[in-house]
Structure 1
Amino acid sequence: MGCPRAVRACRSACAAAVAICLLLVVLPLVLLWLPLLSFAVAVVRFRRRRRRMMMTRCFHGGDRSPPPESGPDGHRAARLHKYLEDQMELVEEEARDAMAAVLARNPWAA
């Protein structure tokens, strides 16, 4: 025996009304908690970052020098430094070639 259509319609209308009432209660609570949750996340991130900085200082003797070249960041820094040196050499060569071309056209420019 199934429910008549009127009973099903009444149940779905009641369910919709309850959902709207819960939404009206839950939404303001969520909006009130969002700033507190954001602040908590910021505090956790700050503490984690500070702890990492303290551990780095403890393991590297307390000075503010860059980490040793043994880590992956050290190799990356060394590769970057080598790349920049190579780029400077290329720029110097191009400048020399450009100056030689100018002098070849006008020997009085020097």
Structure 2
Amino acid sequence: MGSGRPAAWRTCAAAAVAACAVPVALSLVLLWLPLLCCAVAVVRFRRARRRMMQMCGGSTRGGGRFGAVDAGDRLGLLQKYLEDQLELVGAEAGGLLRDLRQGKCSG
């Protein structure tokens, strides 16, 4: 038995193991990929939600999981919403009135 023969056998065995390991590893990666994507999405969603809660001044008072918004905060948000809506309606109504005066609207 020559010294070159065992090295060739080992190389062939290593290639056979690699040929069997690649499909197994690939299938494991493909099986775990959706779970990994879901985990990343959950982490990003929680991080974005936490940032939004900090940005909006959300508190965790009241023992609720999502935090309680007190009446002052709610009233302020409602007031801002109504002002924005009135501004939009006013701008739209002003544009419609202008178009009616100029005769651009038919209907």
TM-score, structure 2 normalization: 0.51
Deviations 1:22-48 (A, max 9, x none): 112111010111011011101110110
1-structure distance, mates of 2:23, 2:45: 34
Q: Aligned residue for 1:11?
A: 10
3-state SS of 1:58 partner: coil
Counterpart for residue 58 of structure 1: 57
- C-alpha offsets along residues 78-100 of structure 1, whole Å, 9 cap, x if unaligned? xxxxxxxxxxxxxxxxxxxxxxx
Higher relative contact order (CA 8 A, sep 6+): 2
Q: Paired residue for 2:101?
A: none
* TM-score with structure 1 setting the length: 0.50
CA–CA distance in structure 2, aligned partners of residues 25 and 37 of structure 1: 18
Residue 5 of structure 1 deviates from its aligned partner by 1.0
* 1:27-80 deviation line (CA, Å, top 9, x unaligned): 101011101101110111011000110111117x85667xxxxxxxxxxxxxxx
Once residues 42 and 58 of structure 1 are traced to their aligned partners in structure 2, the CA distance between those partners, rounded to angstroms, is 24
Q: Please list every run of 5 or more consecutive structure 2 residues that lacks an aligned counterpart in the other structure.
A: 59-71, 81-107
Amino acid at match of 2:31: L
Question: How many angstroms apart in 1 are the aligned matches of 2:23 and 2:42?
Answer: 30
Letter in 1 for 2:3: P
